[in-house]
Amino acid sequence: PVCSMGNSSSRLYSALAKTLSSSAVSQHQDCLEQPDSTQLDPIDPKDLLEECQIVLQKRPPRFQRDFVDLKKNTASNHRPIRVMQWNILAQALGEGKDNFVQCPMEALKWEERKCLILEEILAYKPDILCLQEVDHYFDTFEPLLSRLGYQCTFFPKPWSPCLDVEQNNGPDGCALFFLKDRFELINSANIRLTAMKLKTNQVAIAQTLKCNETGRLFCIAVTHLKARTGWERFRSAQGCDLLQNLKSITQGAKIPLIICGDFNAEPTEEVYREFSNSSLNLNSAYKLLSPDGQSEPPYTTWKIRPSGECRHTLDYIWYSQHALNVNSALGLLTEEQIGPNRLPSFNYPSDHLSLVCDFSFNQDPDRLL
């Protein structure tokens, strides 16, 4: 049962409820057409959060995660830029292919899981949001986030595994959202990654933005590399291709860069070393949470499949360390919070944890190159 609400709230609830309808499910041919949400009224994030909490009232409350302050006495004369990276788990894969043997099917119901995803986004209020495995872009994320003030871009995989699942909602892909009142879009590129000169099924979006407050340009990119053991060389080739594209877009690191992604690669893999040693002078933001600033977190995904328990570090936020400072990073869920059945669960909507960092511009980036 839904609590009684005032008029504006019930209009909002109806907007949220409409994204539950499956009318868009069979319209795969429209997946690349941008719907027009400019005619819709803006949504107050507090109202949307309240509506999500009504839908989730029978679920346990959100876990508490705290930001860790990483500032090194660097004064910044502008508001930090908050960036969120998250593989949200494609609905079709969660229900149809991923075999989370300890996760009840009821926990994966889209009507509620969608609200858990939105609740997480609304809780951290990112200025820029980078998502992977998005298969409900046109009926959920674009209509709602555009009304929260985000400019929205989606690039689906050419042959999404979601399409093999009955009653799917179209292909999954990468999505990038930024707040229009904070940034101006200067350039946008949809990149289909290549490996050994061949086009692959993995994609990236790279956008050059201008920060309205400082006038500074920077590039934000989102990607999702090939999964599975045995594909390490393939991922390495995809990573090289992405880096080449980003070198061109950033004019060889003249424009600061932030890359968010599910790389499907542990820090021991070649593709990780390529990013670490790139001429773009990149560092991985979540290393800064470790005592020595040199080690990645112990996990960013933790699930149980028929083959056993999978606990890996696969998700990263890379940044130009000469041009940007990491002011803070969101701590990860503890093993105790995750619980013995691991992820996803009634508490948490994805098998990957969200990563969130606050960035500021260095005052004199060229001096550090």
What's the pLDDT at 9?
A: 44
pLDDT at 108 over 80: yes
Q: Contact at 8 Å (CB) between 352 and 344?
A: no
Q: What is the pTM of this model?
A: 0.90
Answer whether residue 18 shows pLDDT above 60.
no
Please report the pLDDT score of residue 368 as a whole number: 47
Annotate 148-217 with DSSP letters as a single string: TTEEEEEEE-TT-GGGGSTT--S--EEEEEEETTTEEEEEEEEEEEEETTEEEEEEEEEEEEEETTT--E
- Which domains occur in the chain, in start order? 79-361 (3.60.10.10)
Higher pLDDT, 110 or 73: 110
The mean pLDDT value of the chain amounts to 90
Residue 363 CA to residue 44 CA, distance in Å, equals 34
| pLDDT at residue number 276 | 98
Mean pLDDT to the nearest integer, 231-247: 98
Give residue 366's pLDDT: 59
C-beta separation of 190 from 155 below 8 A: yes
| pLDDT classification of 30: cutoffs 50, 70, 90 | very low
Mean predicted confidence (pLDDT) in 43-50: 95
Q: Is the pLDDT of residue 76 over 80?
A: no
Mean pLDDT of 40-57: 94
At 286, which amino acid appears? Y
The backbone region for 363, taken as left when phi is positive above 0, alpha when psi lies in -120 to 50, beta otherwise, is alpha
Each residue's pLDDT tens digit, 213-228: 999 999 999 999 999 9
Calculate the CA dihedral of residues 149, 160, 355, 221 and round it to 10 degrees: -70
